Amino acid sequence: MSLFLKVARQDNYLYYIFFKTLLETGMRKGEAAALQRKDIDLKNNYININKSLDFQVKEGEDVFGETKTYESERRIKISNSLSRELTAHMNYLNDNRIVFNGFMNMNWIFF
């Protein structure tokens, strides 16, 4: 594990899993932030990229938008290691559902 990820894990678990996903997949931050459970196939170790989160959304607009380009919609193979960590992360979200209630949509992987 890189020093960056070690420090991120010590500082904040949610930063760690977000950055680990970015580093291992090459996704843009908006693509990762828009990930929902239905976009991740843990059985076959794939992530489907089909939307992006707009960090500069105006009031009344949808926070999800299209990917940067048409070619940005893709299916990414993920490592067994990342698949295991994302499984653990989704279990963490389930276990802490009451704590996060009101702060996140439980379908989102990162919030």
Alpha carbons 105 and 49: distance in angstroms, whole number: 18
Tell me, what's the pLDDT at 75? 94
Domain presence at residue 14 = yes
Residue of higher predicted confidence among 57 and 7: 7
Whether 91 has a pLDDT exceeding 60, the answer reads yes
Please tell me the distance from the alpha carbon of residue 78 to that of residue 59, in angstroms, as a whole number: 35
Token duo for residue 29: 């931050």
Q: Looking at the predicted structure, is the pLDDT value of residue 32 above 90?
A: yes
- Note whether residue 107 is domain-resident: no
Quick check: is 109 in a domain? no
Domain contains 108? no
For residue 70, give its domain range. 3-100
**Total tally of structural domains belonging to the chain:** 1
Q: For residues 16-29, give the mean pLDDT.
A: 95
| Residue 63 placed within a domain | yes
Q: Quick one: average pLDDT of 17-38?
A: 94
Residue length of the chain: 111
pTM: 0.81
Residue 9 lies in a domain: yes
Mean per-residue pLDDT for 57-76? Answer: 72
Q: How far apart are the first and last CA of the chain?
A: 23
| Pair 34, 53: CB distance under 8 Å | yes
